[in-house]
Amino acid sequence: MRAVIQRVKSAQVTVDGSVVGSIGYGLLVLLGVSEGDTVDDGTWLAGKIANLRIFPDADGKMNVSLVDSGGAVLLVSQFTLYGDCRKGRRPSFIRAAPPDIAEPAYERFGDQLRDAGVESIAFGSFGANMDVELVNDGPVTLVIDSP
């Protein structure tokens, strides 16, 4: 699994003009699933995201986790995170899991975040063409790959 996480002041996902998910302070998580990913990969990644100390403490240092800050997650499925652009001019998405594997893993990942202590989770719409809006805080953007 691969996640691009962005610390945000707010974020929302719109599909066909309707907001399907929105959060205030927290993390926008773009999640890519590959065919070989396991439940353990999701558990590890959810724990890592929930407990990374990337929110400011009273002194402004990144020293507080998502769980400790009480922040929310907006979780958006994004198979293009596995796009391979090394050859030619069109990305190859052969490493991305097909929808019948990726969608259950994406939905399970929301549960894994809850199990890791994240209380508020909003979702994008799997497989839809989404408009994602965010107010990046910092900016703080990290890429995390599961083992």
Question: From the candidates 6, 12, 78, 112, which is the catalytic residue?
Answer: 78
pLDDT digits (tens, 9 = 90+) for 64-114: 999 999 999 999 999 999 999 999 999 999 999 999 999 999 999 999 999
Question: From the candidates 80, 93, 123, 141, which is the catalytic residue?
Answer: 80
Query: Is 79 assigned a catalytic role?
Result: yes
pLDDT digits (tens, 9 = 90+) for 4-13: 999 999 999 9
On whether the CB atoms of residues 112 and 42 are closer than 8 A, the answer is yes
Residue 14: pLDDT band by 50, 70, 90 thresholds?
very high
> Which residue do the tokens 């962005």 mark?
6
User: What six digits make up the tokens of 102?
Assistant: 């990726």
pLDDT digits (tens, 9 = 90+) for 37-59: 999 999 999 999 999 999 999 99
Query: Is 126 assigned a catalytic role?
Result: no
Its CATH architecture, for the domain 2-145, is 3-Layer(bba) Sandwich (3.50)
Let me know the angle formed at the C-alpha of 129 by 124 and 130, rounded to the nearest 5 degrees: 45
Question: From the candidates 6, 12, 55, 79, which is the catalytic residue?
Answer: 79
Distance between CA atoms of 55 and 11, rounded to whole angstroms?
16
Query: Is 14 assigned a catalytic role?
Result: no
